[in-house]
Structure formats: structure tokens, C-alpha cells
A and B are shown apart, each in its own frame.
Chain A
Amino acid sequence: MSTISPIQRELLKNALVTISDNALVMVMRTARTANVKNSMDFSAAICDGTGNLAAQGLAVPVHLGVVNPALKGCLDYFGDDIAEGDVLASNDPYSGCSHLNDIFTFKPVYVDGKRVAFVVLVLHHTDLGGRVPGGNAADSQEIFEEGLRLPPVKMRVAGRNNDAVFRIIEANTRIPDRVMGDLNAQLAALDEAAAEVEKIARRMGPEAFGRYLVDLIDYAEQLTRNSIADLPDGEVEFDEWNDDDGAGHGPIHLHVKLTKKGDEIVVDYEGTQEDTGGAVHCNWEFAVSCTYAALRTVLAAEVPNNAGLYRPITVKAPKGTFISVEFPAAVGSRGQIGFRLRSIILGALAKLVPGRMPACAGGSEFALAASGRTETGRSFLHLEFHNNTGLGGGPDRDGQDAGPYCIGNLANVPVELIESENPIRVEQYAFLPDTGGAGEYRGALGLVRDYRFLTDAVRVQVRSDRYTSQPWGLFGGGPGAGGKLVLNPGTPGEDPLPSKFIRTFAKGDLLSAQMAASGGYGEAAKRDRAAVARDLAEGKMTADHALKAYGFSAGEEPDA
């Protein structure tokens, strides 16, 4: 009998997601670097025997579409030369991976000699060499500057470790103990997940297991199609800008045309400017993955994360654009353009389905690396990401100040933790009044973090954006205030800094990082007067701004 029971399908779906989640828990438990534990920059997935994604655990959203192309890169290379006990791996953006730090590992699962699945674990490794620690300098030009490039290889052959690969990785990282520890954690979790998948496949029988995986993908496709069919048909275009490419060229223009017809969506990035260099641009596979993640926000919550979700969605762009770069472009800082890809899709969706999407999210996609020696001679390295400040205003309420950004999930770093471990004092971490894009529903406020350096010769690398390309408003709402970086504000030595730089600061210098606010929604004149009065009372708006942006005089009685 070959009918599908929806109950068996649900049970299998649950079982597979549980396996991938547990693999992630295991990585969390055994990984060595703080970065792995803090940022949870890893994903676990299960593909069918031919390499189609069938289930993915709790994941970094931008990983939503990365598994299929990375596995395809390995399958294309190895073809029939894959056997029980092998583990395949790659980190090569030019074989379907995303950037060098992400090492993908794949373990085929066999039942009675038949390959029934691949188990997948991808993990961001903190350092794989390159000219800058961590490999994410924004101004690199070629991938050869960014660290170890691992084309599709076998890390294990018929159950035996391929020592050459391990030794090469070990010799190409600044922190071999920790990176090899993370890699071992990754492989151990992969083995455990593969054993669990094998158990299920044996219990169900390889034929039924395979049939149910195919059905699970079809089921996700059907749910996706139903979700898309619920959206209005139409064709919309949207433009976005990045301040620069990380190597001095800018602004960078992105363009998209999104066509929704029936139960399908076509996303076409033609019109996006051609690649100019630097390392904040991305390869095509990453651009597609970010596109899926942004579109996921309008799909039903219960759609399983698998290849069925991709089928009704076509994503295209010419080769060689800023988001479809070609070998040997550097892509280490591609996470930054990932934010722009998500916002351009959300913008297009806002036009396609008015009343559903808020205005543009705020944040300067701010990343800081500060290193040097304390006055007692101890070396320190402080790494910090502060990507977002809150979603935009609308469609029916203000952007929540410091609200979480749904297609990303990185925590900020506690001030007291920074101060206890580094010669840095954070003198302010606060909302920036008046910055939220004006509108009937205003944008979330920008945020400021002021860093005082308490020792000399602190080497600081900053990657950020949204200084000139402000987060956009919608339907008459104003843009959120752009970000700013200022050295020693309010002193004779005040010095505005660019959004991406590497510089050395002296003891006593204060770096003020002012992060962009989000966009407003609807005409400011329609804003509820009581809401303006409340912002005034809370000090989130000054009287001056209330008058200019909303025509609201201090002392005016908010009418009911």
C-alpha cells in the first residue's frame, strides 16, 4: 500500500525536526568558541537521498536556502563516488556555499545499501585564517585574502577521518584548539543525527521513508502555494541602496521586480548594479537564501522549512551583479548585504500587499572589533554585533522601539560584560529621540552606544551601513534617521567617521555609534495626537520635533 497518512507525515516531520534541533543543542553544548554559543550561527537539516532539503531545525534565517546548493556542489563533484561512512564537506562560495567561515558537512545515510538521506550540519567557524582575524574585513577584494578555501572534499572516507583535511584546517586558523574543538562538535552532532535518521528509516522501511520524505516536500509546496494564492496578484518594483561596497565605492543600487500570479512568485533582480568589489556583496546562492527568508514572512507559519517551499518561487538575476558576484570576489562580509536583500523584498511585499508589512527596519548593521593590550599588558579582543534597532512603523501601530528583528536573531552584548573584560567603558546606551521616521505610525527610534577607550593604541574595525541610505518609510511616512559614527563628539577634536573603517584610537578617545532608526508609515499629519503627546511625555520626542514633524505644539491638549 502506498497511500500517505497525514498522521504519519506529521509524526515524521516532528521526528526529523526534533533530530535537527537536538543536533543543534549538542553543538551548543560541546562547541568551544563563544561566538558559536552566542550567535547560534549554525543550522542542522535532513535532505532526501538525492539531496533535496526535507527538514531544517531552528536556524539562522539566512540559512533557509543554503543547504540545497551547498550539497549540490558536493554531489556534482563526487557524483557516484559517495559511499557509506563518508562525510563530505565544503566552505567554497564558488561551489554553492556562502562564505568561508561556514563549513558545511554532509553525511549520507544508508539502509540496506540504499542511500535514503543526507544529514547536514553547517556551522560558522570563528577563524579560518585570512588577512584579518575572523575573516570578515569589508574591504577585501579577492577570496584568497579571506582564509582557507575548502572545495568539496571528503572529511571521512568509509568511516575513517581524512587526516589531510583536518591538518590543513588546523594549520590555517589563528585559534586551532577552539576551531578544531568546534569542528569535532560539529561532526559528533552530525553522527548522532545520522544514527537517529537511520533508526527511523529502518523502522519505516527505506521505501516508505523515501516516499514520506518526497511527500513532506510536496506538502510544504502545497502549503506554500496556498499561502501565495491568498496574496493579491500583481507586479511591483522596489529599489534599495547600500552606502558603499566596503572598498570605497557607493552608493550601491539594488533593484527588484516581484511578480505574483496565482500560486507562484517570480523575483527578478535585473537592474541591480554590477559588482564593484569589496566584501559586503554576495554570491547568488546567498542572495536566493535571503530572498526565501524574507518571503517566508508572508507564508503560513506552519509551512515546514524544506525544498517544497522553494518550488513555487523563482529567483533570478544576471551574473556579475552586486548580489551575484563571480569568482574570485571576496564575500566575507556578505552578511551586511543580506540585510539589504531582506529589506528590498519586504519593501516589494509592502507594495504588493498594502496593509501587511511595516516600513523599513532600523539599524546600522553595526559590527565592532576592538583589540589591543591593557595597561598591564594583557591582550584583549572585543567582538560585537549590533545589527538592528527595531522594525518600521505600521501597518497598524508604531515600530516597537528596540523590538526584535524577525529575520535575524542576535543578542546585544551587555555593557557590564564588555567593561569587565576589556579596557573599554560604555558611557551611554540609549534611544535617540526624534529619530524614528515620521508617520501616522512612527518608526522605532535609533540607538546610541558610546565607547570610551581606557588604554592606548586600540585597533578598531567597524562594519556598518545605513548612513546615507536611510531606512525607508511607506505610504507617506518619512525615513528613519540615518546612522552616524563620531569620534569625540562635542570636543574640539570631533571627527565624523565613515561607516566602514579600520583605525587606531588613543586612551580617552570616545567613539559614538549612533545607529539608524526605522521608517515611518502613513502621513505624519494623521498621527494620533495622544500618541505624539505620549512620545513627548516619555522624552522619545522633543517639542521642537513634534512641532516640525507633526505640527504639534507643546501644551496642546491631546484631543480624544
Chain B
Amino acid sequence: MTRQSFRLGVDIGGTFTDIVLIDDDGRVFSKKILSTPRDYSEAIEVGSRALFAELGVDPADIREFVHATTVATNTIIERKGAKVGLVTTLGFRDVLEIARFRTPRLYDITYRKPDPLVPRDLRFEVAERMGADGAVVAPLDESRLEDIASAMETAGVEAVAITLINSHVNADHEQRLADFFRKRMPDLMVTASSDLVPQIGEYERTSTTVVNAYLRPIVTRYVEALQRRLDGMGIAAPLMIMQSSGGIAPGMLVKDQPITIIESGPAAGVLGGARLASHIDLGDVLVFDMGGTTAKATLTEAGAYTISPETEVGGEPVLGARMVRGAGYPVQVPTIDIAEVGAGGGSLAAVDSAGGIAVGPRSAGSEPGPVAYGRGGTQPTVTDGNLMLGYLNPQALVSGELSLDHGAVRRAFGTLSGELAVAETEAAYGVHQIANASMLRALRGVSSEKGRDPAQFVLMAIGGNGPVHACSLAEEAGMHRVVIPPVAGLYSALGMLFADVEHQLVAAFYHRLDETDLAALQATIDGLVAHGAELLEGQGFGPDARDMRIEIDMKYAGQTSPLTVMLGGTEASEAAIAALIRSFHEQHARTFGYSSAHEPLQFVAVKAVCRGVPERPRMPEQCLRGNERSLGATGRRAYFGAQGWHETPVVTRADLKAEPRSGPLIVEEYDTTCVIRPGWEASLDHWNNIHAIKKESAEA
């Protein structure tokens, strides 16, 4: 027997650090420990060492290390980024602060948008101007640059961002400025917008460039510290980091473009879900990830998810946020399109002055957490409701590592039910249902945007609370099938191990189709492909192991937002463009309900998705649970609404078989609890996924 090698996935959240180890046979081992906010890499080392010791794994046998981290997001939320100096075109230094005037909260006279990450006195203007066609309207005035550099030094600037008007069309002035500052201040990290996001829209491009500059020193220090820890532990595998787009990239590249890892953790869960859906042929799937403070929903069709060209960072999740903008800092970076609502296990139930009840978006967070955690919480949460209903083990979670205070939960619900004048059980079930209603908004939101009904999808439930709510949420949404993958509660940490090395590159190409020179388009494509090839070469992917896909952002002239359309191959031939135009019209009709053959078309940008083709499959053939520990429960009473209280067997995943077993049923696991309702039946497939199917007879 050959010696086993291992792949290690680590997902750092605000509260917990999840660690998953998988061997060559698909055996999965996991560990969940508290995060260490002062130095997040500490929990990685402590947790990994503990897991290695428990299993007798030699760190030298770790052949891959993939990591998802909230370090970028937290830096922004806590405003702990670098002091940035911004250089702009004369007349436009206020673009960053003016922003777009959108508010996420109508009628709230106290709402303030986030303050700019660079104050006005650190925003410097230079006389220069490019026209929209790329012609030089005013030459670059270099006479003041030395003054600007000195002012930055005096102010203690740590990073420089440069965004000039129309630099996405002609980057010459911007590049000359970048060269100047790199030479003049070699210790500072300089980010030019034309290197990062050569896309139209001065505010979004400036914001993206500033966020990148703001994060760079912090993420660089983080990546370097983590690398030292890995070296110290004897892990030789390269440090790979999950990007918001669903691909992984080496830490050494990511530290220069930290904007690519803002949605690192959520992307890992979706990517893992999408890959699993393809692997076992699930068809169209809604990946539903419910944690402690928020729930997220992502639609995948035949294993493919939608990539959104932009995200916002640093804002709170707002119900209905998909139509409401302005809560955070926009960042133009390819991001898996995820809808998020403020409903999670920690969401608080509260009674208003007219006797109405609301659940969330206020959350008990990790401190004090749900009442059940016994850390001072007194207001009931969704998790507390689930405990009252018998869904969760009344003594402990995480295989006994987190003990629960059932008595305190009962007292809290006593108070709540008194205020509402309903029975305690009804109050608890109400909290569960109202949380579902919020999450249903996210599910319906993502599917409505595609013109589809959630009932047409399989619900894949992940996250610590996803499997608790999956079946009841599915019933509300009219869905009939739920899939709960192994280590569902830590699935992001597993899912990231299925991701490919991928680089998404973009170049501006703002030309009307009827005024486009195909040679110029080809040159733009060639530039991107060459850059992608160079990046992949650096990670050991030779010419035969590269998958290059060219996508064009285009729209009808005058429209607001473009569609991303795939170009067959990398040649901008007449035939390829004709096919591209046909796909655009088709895709437009599919997405927006109409297409219009006579309207002029506008190219916006050219994108390259450059993927390294892995030597061996990223998905294991099967997935077996390694270090599961049972709490030993065998059954308890649980409440299912109209169907009342049921004596419900409690089992482990290993107790399930290919032969369906009827609900009600509770599957207790290390990282989550799966609730199979009456009228549903559960079975296990070869990959250790639980499939819950709603029986038709249960209707009525």
C-alpha cells in the first residue's frame, strides 16, 4: 500500500476556524476551534497540529494547503487597513467621497454611508486628461509629483492608489505615475487602477483601487506570517487561497490583489456545492448556507454558478439587498453571485410595541450568542428555538465540545410566549418559521432574477444551521429534494479542496461593434492570454495544462449593465464574432425576456478565465467520514407544526443506508444536525450524502 498523502482545507470565520483533512481514499477528518482574531494564523497552527496529532499525520505528507479567510473583510469592517494616498485627475479627487448617493435604508434620517477610506487631504490631483476615445486632451503635468510624494511621506502614507479619468481606455498617464511613485517611494505598495480593474465607471474603479491599496500591507503581512507558520510546521505544500470567483491562487499572488479574496469563505462553500452537484449529477441546485448570523443562497445550473462583476464590502447584509445598494464599498472583482440575508442561528426574536414578532436581522453574534450557550444571552434566538423544538441535542453541540443550558432557553421562551400570548412551543415554532420566511426571500430572490421557481431546484444545505432548517425551508419553497453533503457544517473547508487554480483577467474594450477594429480586439485578447499563460506557468501548468476561456462583456448601446458572453476559442475571427452576437441575443432573451436584432451593440470589456488543468481529479471518488464522535443519543421528542410532537429517532449518518428511511429522523453529527421531517425519507449515497425526499403521500 502506498503511503497516504493529505489535502488540508482551512476556513477562518469570525467565530470559528474550520479545518478539514482529506486523504487519497476520500476519508475526511475535521476539527472546529475558536478563531484567534489577534492573529488568525494561530488557530490554523493550533488546530492543524491537534488534528495531525489525533490522526498521526506527518505534516510532510500534506500535499496541498488551501485556505479561505475573512482577513480582508475584517480589515475593512474594523477600519484597520493601511493609510492610503490617492492620486486622481484634476477636478476629480472627490469622486471617492461623493460615491453614488444610493442608500440601503429608506426613511432612516440617521443613516450615513461609510466614510471614505482615504480622507480628502490624502487625495492628490494631477493636471492631465484622457478623452473617452483615449486621445490625450491634456498632457500629464509632472511638475507637482515631487510635492505630492513629500506630502505623502510627511503624512505617513503606507500605500498608494492611482485612478485617472478614462485610464481604462488609455493607461499611459496612470502607468507613468505608477512608475514615478514606485521609484520615488520603493517601500510603498503602489496600485494603479489600470493594472487592477481597467473597467469603465470612475467611482467603482477608484473604490476598487483604494480598497486594494488599503488591504495590501495587511494581507501581505498575514500571508507571510501564515507561510512562516506552515514552514515551521513542516508543511511544504504551497499556500493556496480561495478567491471570491471560485478559483484558488497562490498566496504570493493574492497578497498583491487582496480584493480577489473578499468573499473567500462563502465562495468555497458554493464552489464545493457546485462541484458536488456535477459529480453526482444533481442537476440544478440551490446551495443554501446558513451560519450563525446570515444565510446565503446561490443558484447553480448544471454545476455552473453565476459570476457577478462586482461586490460590496464592509456593509451589513440588508434584507432585499440585491436591489438596494450603498451599504459598503464597491469592489469590481469577479465574485460568485450570492444572495445574503440577516437570518442565522444567532438571529434574535423580539416583540414590538404592538405585540408583533420579528426574528433578526439583529443577531446575538458570537458574544453572548444564543441563550443556550450560557454566555449571558437572555433574548431567544433561532438556535434556542430549535433546541425547544427538539431539533438540537438539549445537552451539547459539536460532539459534546459545546454544552448547552436547556433550562435558560425554556425560561427565555417562557417570557417570549407570555408577551405574544401563545404557547411556548408555538412561539418556538414561530421563530423557526419566521427565520425560514426571511431565508425564503433570498431563495426566491436569486431564482426570480433568473426567471425561475425555486421548486425546480434541489436544495443543498450546508453551514452549521443549514441542515437543521433544510426540510422545513424546502417545504415552504415547494421544493421536494434536499441533499446534505458530508461535513455539511464545515463544508466550505472541504469544498475549497475541489477548486481549480484559476486567474480571472480583464481588459477594457469600450467600443461599439460597428466601430470595432477586429485586430484591436485580437490584440487585447492576446495580451490577456499571454498574461494568463505566464501566471499559470509560474504555478507549474505547462501549455497542455491550461484552459483559456475568453468572455466578452457586451450590451445594447445605451443599456446600463452588460451581459458576459463566451467567445468560442481565443480568435476574434469574423465567424467567431458572428457566433458571439448570436449568443448575446439568445442570452439576452433568456435573461431579460427579449432581444432586439436592430439595436446597435456595445462591447464593454474582454475577460479571460485562465484555469490550470489539474493532474488528478479534484473530487474524490467517494467521501468517507473519518473521526466522527457520537453523543450517544437515541431519540427524543421533536415538534413539527401541524404534525405535532413526534418521538423521533436520533441516528448518525453511518446508520443511514441506500434504502430510504422514513422521517421524522434526526441525524446528529460533529458539525451539524440534520432534521428529516415527517413525510420525508432519507437515504445515503456512495459519496456519503444524505438525500431527503418529500413523499407525495405526505401532502395534505
Contact = CB atoms under 8 A, between A and B. Distances in A.
Interface stretch (A45-53, A84-92, A238-246, A411-419): A411-419
Nearest to A293: B107
Given A407-B106, A409-B102, A417 B440 contact: no
Contact of B593 (A15, A29, A301, A406): A29
A189 to B, nearest CB: 10
Interface stretch (B113-121, B268-276, B304-312, B527-535): B113-121
B445 interface: yes
A313 B574 CA distance: 66
Given A29-B593, A421-B557, A429 B441 contact: no
Contacts of B120: 431, 538-540
A430 B323 contact: no
Interface in A363-419: 388, 391, 400-407, 409-412, 414-417, 419
Contacts of A406: 103, 105-109, 111
B437 interface: yes
Interface in B50-107: 91-95, 97-103, 105-107
Contacts of A301: 107-108
A273 interface: no
Nearest to A3: B421
Contact of A6 (B102, B111, B353, B422): B422
A30 interface: yes
Nearest to B98: A402
A188 B426 CA distance: 38
B358 A302 contact: yes
Interface string A209-251: 0000000000100110010000000000000000000000000
Contacts of A498: none
A431 B92 CA distance: 9
Nearest to A224: B354
A405 B137 contact: no
Interface stretch (B22-30, B279-287, B427-435, B491-499): B427-435
A425 interface: yes
Interface residues of B, number: 76
Contact of B596 (A177, A297, A427): A177
A447 B100 CA distance: 13
A419 B202 CA distance: 11
Interface in B160-178: 165-166, 168
A21 B320 contact: yes
B445 A22 contact: yes
A83 interface: no
B interface, by DSSP: helix, strand, loop or mixed?
loop
Given A296-B107, A301-B107, A416-B165, A34 B102 contact: no
B101 A185 contact: no
A525 interface: no
A300 B427 CA distance: 23
A515 to B, nearest CB: 11
Nearest to B90: A428
Interface in B377-413: none
Give the residue among A18, A38, A59, A301 with the most B Cβ atoms within 10 A.
A18
Contacts of B91: 427-430, 450
Given A6-B420, A22-B448, A416-B168, A302 B107 contact: no
Contacts of B438: 14
B444 interface: yes
A29 B510 CA distance: 23
Contacts of A421: 557-558
Contacts of B325: 411
Contacts of B324: 58, 409
Contact of B131 (A32, A403, A405, A419): A419
Interface string B587-618: 00001111010000000000000000000000
Interface string A182-216: 00010010000000000000000000000000000
A412 B98 contact: yes
Contacts of A429: 91-92, 94-95, 98
A295 to B, nearest CB: 9
A223 B354 contact: yes
A11 B433 contact: yes
A338 interface: no
A365 to B, nearest CB: 13
Interface of B: 91-95, 97-103, 105-109, 111-113, 119-121, 131-132, 137, 165-166, 168, 200-204, 320, 322-326, 352-358, 420-422, 426-427, 429-430, 433-434, 437-438, 440-441, 444-445, 448-449, 451, 510, 557-561, 591-594, 596
6 contacts: A38-B560, A226-B353, A412-B101, A421-B557, A447-B94, A538-B120
Given A30-B592, A58-B320, A404-B103, 5 more contacts: A34-B559, A37-B561, A223-B356, A302-B356, A428-B91
